[in-house]
Each structure stands twice: as structure tokens, then as C-alpha cells.
Amino acid sequence: MSKRIPLAGVIGNPVGHSKSPRMHAHWLASQDLPGHYIPMEVEAEDLADVLAALPRMGFAGTNVTIPHKEAALAGAVRATPRARAIGAANTLTFLPGGGYEADNTDGYGFFANLQQRAGDWRASDGPVAVFGAGGAARAILHAMLEAGAPEIRLMNRTRARAETLAAAFGPRVKVLDWGDTGPALDGAATVVNTTSLGMAGQPAFDLDLGGLRPGMIATDIVYIPLETPFLQAASRRGARIVDGLGMLLWQGVPGFNRWFGGDAQVTPELRELMLAP
């Protein structure tokens, strides 16, 4: 029997907008590896059947995105500690004995992006101010706390969601009111927007960022536009800024390496490719 060409993809709904296929195709081509990575639009009620069938078709693994991240974790025979802590999965690897292992690489992607683009940055540099308490914030809190952030100041429009995260992640997470940016930014080393505010087509990020100072690092998970109003405001106040595109790129690295046996690199060329229409 001939050796199968490894397959992988991304399951979401909708999924047509995903740029992950472009990224994996680039990595496959640039490393001269055999393989294909495809987008798959799947209804929630079909997810389990699809995940059972994919390995029989030669899939080594798959990414999952909205709205399947929690269900994908629930259906796993094995999960990494970070996927369990985050409560959602984005990277599934099929196991030889059946079923799949669930991982979550979103926090890793966030962290690796900051390390690449702000080389001397450390999570332990000082308090981290975080806007938003959704799924992305969960992944980022986990990565920041693992990497030694001394304190997380968490603000969310719906305060109860921030309280839930604080209860899950422990006493280093302090909840502040949405809009309480004075105390949140006072002495902070890192400031993160994890909300959808400022994304093309979404409302603007309009909280007072007067507390931003030179020496702080501001980063956004929104990358359309690349330089969001939040990052522009931070830049005007002398803070160093790191855009969110790299988080998308880096979160794909562990899956690519696992499924295709490659060594994926996040390069300026890949950034350009992903920014093209």
C-alpha cells in the first residue's frame, strides 16, 4: 500500500473566511512536504461523526474553531493540561488507537507572538491589564499566569464573566469595573485587548487609555485592521505595540509540526501572505 498523504484542516461554522488553509499551504510548500489542509464547514450536531470519520480518510488532525471549541474538548479521549485549563480546544490530533487528543494553542500563539515581536518582554515584567473575558481572554490568562505574570487586572463589560475567570484562575486575577482604566493601567507592564472592539465592522474601543506610558507593551488580538485604534492610542502615548496577526500565525505552528512533521516558521513573508486580500 502506498503511504498516505497526510491531511489536516479547520472545522468551523462559518469557516470560509479562515486564513488557516493559506498558512498551512505556505508551510507545506516552503518545506517541500506532502500534505493538504482544507476548510470544513460542519454543523454542531455533525461534529462527533465528522471527527470519527476524518482519521479513516487519512487525516492526521484538525483545527477547530467557533462554534466547536468546547464540544471538541468534551469529545476528546485525552486533553493537554492547557486545553483543560482553558476549557476549549483548537488543535486535535487523531490517536492510533482511536479518538483524538485535544490541545489549545491560542495562549501559546499569543505568548509566542509577544516574544517574537518584543524580544525582551517577559510576562513577569509587571501587572498585566486585560480587556475582555471571553474565550480568547481565557487562553491568554492561562498563558500569562503560566509564564509568571504577577497580577492580572481583568475588566469586562459583563463583570460576571470576569468574576468567573478570576474564580477559575485564582488570586493573581483581580477584577476591576469596565472603564476603570486608571487603576488598571497604573504601573502595568503589559496591556491587552481581547475584545472584538476596534475590529472592522465592530464598535470602536473607546475607553480612556490616558494611563498608558512609554515602557509599557500594548497588544491586541484584533488584526483587521492590523493597527487598531487601541494600538494607535497606545502608540501615541509612547507604549510599544504588538499587533495581533502573529497570534493567528503562531497558534497554527504546533498542529502543523505534529500533523505534517514539519518545522513551521513565522516569517515576514508569511505575514505578508496572510495580509493579502
> For ligand ATR, which residue of 194, 219, 228, 251 counts as binding (CB under 6 A)?
194
Region near ligand ATR per CB under 6 A, out of 96-104, 107-115, 193-201, 248-256: 193-201
158 makes contact with ligand ATR (CB under 6 A): yes
Count, residues near ligand ATR per rule CB under 6 A:
15
List CB contacts of 232: < 8 A, sequence separation 6 or more. Answer: none
Segment 109 to 148, residues that bind ligand ATR, using CB under 6 A: 132-137
Q: Which residue is nearest to ligand ATR (CB)?
A: 134
CB-CB contact of 253 with 24 (8 Å): no
From the list 207, 201, 145, the residue with the least C-alpha distance to 180 is 207
197 makes contact with ligand ATR (CB under 6 A): yes
| Minimum CB distance to ligand ATR, residue 49 (Å) | 25
156 makes contact with ligand ATR (CB under 6 A): yes
List CB contacts of 192: < 8 A, sequence separation 6 or more. Answer: 128, 129, 130, 131, 140, 218, 219, 220, 221
90 makes contact with ligand ATR (CB under 6 A): no
Segment 203 to 262, residues that bind ligand ATR, using CB under 6 A: 203
Q: Which is nearer to ligand ATR, 122 or 157 (CB)?
A: 157
| Minimum CB distance to ligand ATR, residue 142 (Å) | 13
Other Cβ atoms less than 10 A from the Cβ of 177: the count is: 13
195 makes contact with ligand ATR (CB under 6 A): yes
> For ligand ATR, which residue of 122, 157, 172, 237 counts as binding (CB under 6 A)?
157
> For ligand ATR, which residue of 36, 84, 161, 237 counts as binding (CB under 6 A)?
161
Q: Is 69 considered catalytic here?
A: yes
Q: Which is nearer to ligand ATR, 60 or 245 (CB)?
A: 245
User: What residues act catalytically?
Assistant: 69
Which residues of the chain form contacts with ligand ATR (CB under 6 A)?
132-137, 156-158, 161, 194-197, 203
